[in-house]
Amino acid sequence: MDSLAAAPGTGPATSPLPVLRKPRPAASFKDLPTDRTLVMGILNVTPDSFSDGGRHSTADTAVAAGLRMFYAGADIIDVGGESTRPGAAEVSVEEEQRRVLPVIEALVKAGALVSIDTMHAATAEAALDAGAAIINDVSGLTLEPEMAELVARSKAPYILTHRRGDANTMDSLAEYRNVAQDVAAELAGVREQLYAAGATEEQIILDPGLGFAKNEAQNWELLQNIDVLQALGHKVLVAASRKRFLGSLLTVAGKAAQPLERDAATAAVTAISAYRGAWAVRVHDVGASLDAVKVAARIAPVPCPAASAVPGDS
């Protein structure tokens, strides 16, 4: 029998909060499927997220949205409390933690595997203490060197995202000789900092950082060449969901598609990324991407070589 009172994965964002009756056993990274690309559901607990309009600005609505994604089949729920969009207001670490920690605790209690989307080591550590299993750092280790020590100490899987500059400067830093090779080389350089701190190869998951110091053409070029990143020997996460370059592609009568109109294009990116052996995709619309990875797994069932490696196993 289902442990939730309300039907999962369905209904509008305003449907009643599912009532948790029975905690499930904690999910673990090593139990994630390895025969298909994973789907990570995005849960922004921010009042100013560009893509969900800040609908999940309270813990209760955020938990309900996270549970809907979990029961719709998301393998991982990525919880973030600070918007990374260009020009977004900075949030204090205290406020960030106030937003995300109760949400993480509730989702972990329900049996979800949670990643913490943060650029701050203190928030990452508090989130791990609250039950999160993965650190997702869009700063690409450029902000806080303490992050590398935390990754090594915690032994948690760490998503290393490529980025140049910060939310205010990154758009002016999108100059590359060959974007896939340059991104791979820069990630390999940052990886050395992780190794120097004591992190292991299996902990590191690479993300090309679509939209972070990349123009539209460069985003497409990175998607065309994820094998260049995969050649570094790590799992690769693709995070294209509802991003601006998809909106521009879908322009009709001079008007770019709005974030909520980009989910079919996102699912197309998912299918192709899965076909090419991405370890995971980070998406808003979990159901569509799950369908896409299942289709891709039937056509190209071989996962990327690094997909089954688990931190601490070697």
**Catalytic annotation on 282?**
yes
Among 84, 97, 218, 230, binds ligand PMM (CB under 6 A): 84
**Catalytic annotation on 243?**
yes
Q: Which of residues 240-259 bind ligand PMM (CB under 6 A)?
A: 241
- Under a CB-based contact definition with an 8 Å cutoff, are residues 242 and 259 in contact? yes
- Under a CB-based contact definition with an 8 Å cutoff, are residues 309 and 203 in contact? no
- Under a CB-based contact definition with an 8 Å cutoff, are residues 124 and 150 in contact? yes
Phi-psi sector, 57: left (phi>0), alpha (psi -120 to 50), beta: alpha
* Residue placing its CB nearer to ligand PMM in the complex, 161 or 203: 161
Q: From the candidates 36, 164, 243, 276, which is the catalytic residue?
A: 243
Structure tokens at 190: 């940052």
Tell me the per-residue interface mask from 185 to 224 with ligand PMM, x by CB under 6 A, - otherwise. Answer: ----------------------x-xx--------------
Residue 285 engages ligand PMM in binding (rule: CB under 6 A): no
DSSP conformation class of 86: T
Q: How far is the CB of 237 from ligand PMM (least distance, A)?
A: 6
- Under a CB-based contact definition with an 8 Å cutoff, are residues 136 and 116 in contact? yes
No. of helices (H) and no. of strands (E), the chain: 10, 8
The residue number with the shortest CB distance to ligand PMM is 239
Q: Which of residues 265-284 bind ligand PMM (CB under 6 A)?
A: 282
- Under a CB-based contact definition with an 8 Å cutoff, are residues 226 and 162 in contact? no
Q: Backbone phi, then psi, for 7, in 5-degree steps?
A: -65, 130
Q: How far is the CB of 211 from ligand PMM (least distance, A)?
A: 6
Q: Which stretch binds ligand PMM (CB under 6 A): 18-26, 49-57, 99-107, 220-228?
A: 49-57
Binding residues for ligand PMM, rule: CB under 6 A, are: 42, 44, 49-51, 84, 117, 136, 138, 159, 161, 207, 209-210, 237, 239, 241, 282
